[in-house]
Amino acid sequence: MAIAVASTLVFFGALAFLVTRSPGWDRFKAYFFDWSLYRESFPEIAEAFLINVKIFLIAEAVVLVTALGLAVLRSLPGPVFVPVRALAIVYTDLFRGVPTILVILMLGVGMPALQLEGVPDSEIFWATVSLVLVYTAYVSEVYRAGIESVHPSQDAAARSLGLSRFQSLRHVVLPQAVRRVIPPLLNDFIGLQKDTALVSVLGVVEVLNQAGINEAADFNGTHYLVAATLFVAITIPLARFTDWLIARDRRRRQAGGVPT
């Protein structure tokens, strides 16, 4: 413990010394670490960040369901479902292959331009749709890995009780699959949250654009630091929450029965 503390102090001390001794340090410090500006800028940028929060909350809720659906479609066995599986594969290949920013640009600019009756023309709407499309492809692969990690004997046991294919999936296979993929699922969700900044290419004044506007006004990068802090601030609680979920599940299964 003492060694750990000492080595940590020495390491970061040396790092801080080197960085602050660099020739451009004073200018760097003035550009990124203006604390009074930080406090002043925070409320405005945090308000813009609410747009990002809205986008990722909606997108995550939708992706949880659509990705599961896609993974299940791709796991359907037998020759009858070949076209379904093929479609699912094409979808995944396509939306994992195209850069997210391109999907956002194409849908966000293209769909409103169609001026179709009943088709929303909000950039935020289409940006959210784009993120859903892309992340459905990623997350469905995570789910699929989970589904395939559940041993076939579990399905056999469920089917031998007379459960239908769907009931076995719903009550036996998926609950185990989802528990196993919670960490990588969270990984993708953090990625999605960060990718809401890509919506800025459509001109929506969300967190990144707001920080950029502020930066352009007084040529100070502290506004970007505010944006960065906000992203980190929402990621950390999510990570700890997931750790807690996993630990709780493990406790329940191994350290004694807690009736629910």
Partner 1 sequence: MSTSALAIEGLHKSFGKLEVLRGIDLELAEHEVVCLIGASGSGKSTLLRCINLLEPIDAGRIVLHGDDITAARVNVDRVRSGIGIVFQAFNLFPHMSVLENVTLGPRKALRLGKAEATGRATELLGRFGLADKRDEYPDRLSGGQQQRVAIVRALAMRPWLLLLDEVTSALDPELVAEVLEVVRELATEGMTMLIATHEMSFARDVAHRVCFLDAGVILEQGAPDQIFEAPREPRTQQFLQRIVDAGRL
Instruction: Give the interface with partner 1 as residue ranges (CB under 8 A).
Output: 153-154, 156-164, 167, 171-172, 175-176, 179, 252-259
Smallest separation (angstroms) from partner 1 to the CB of 176: 5
Of 20 and 167, nearer to partner 1 (C-beta) is 167
Nearer to partner 1, 68 or 208 (CB): 68
How far is Cα 136 from Cα 209, in angstroms, rounded to an integer? Answer: 26
HSE-CB of 223 using CA atoms within 13 angstroms? 20
Side-chain half-sphere CA neighbours of 20 within 13 A: 7
Residue with Cβ nearer partner 1 (240 or 253): 253
Residues 6+ apart with CB under 8 A from 48: 205, 206, 207, 209, 210, 211
CB of 158 to partner 1, least distance (A): 8
Least CB distance from residue 157 to partner 1, whole Å? 4
CB of 149 to partner 1, least distance (A): 13
Nearer to partner 1, 120 or 175 (CB): 175
Contact 140, 72 (CB under 8 A): no
* Minimum distance of partner 1 from residue 28's CB (angstroms): 52
Residue with tokens 């699922």: 185
Nearer to partner 1, 110 or 183 (CB): 183
CB 35, min distance to partner 1, A: 49
Q: What is the three-class DSSP state of 192?
A: helix
- Residue pointed to by tokens 């004073």: 26
Distance from the Cα of residue 48 to its chain's centroid: 19
Nearer to partner 1, 39 or 253 (CB): 253
Alpha carbon distances (Å) from 100 to 69, 85, 130, 256: 21, 23, 8, 45
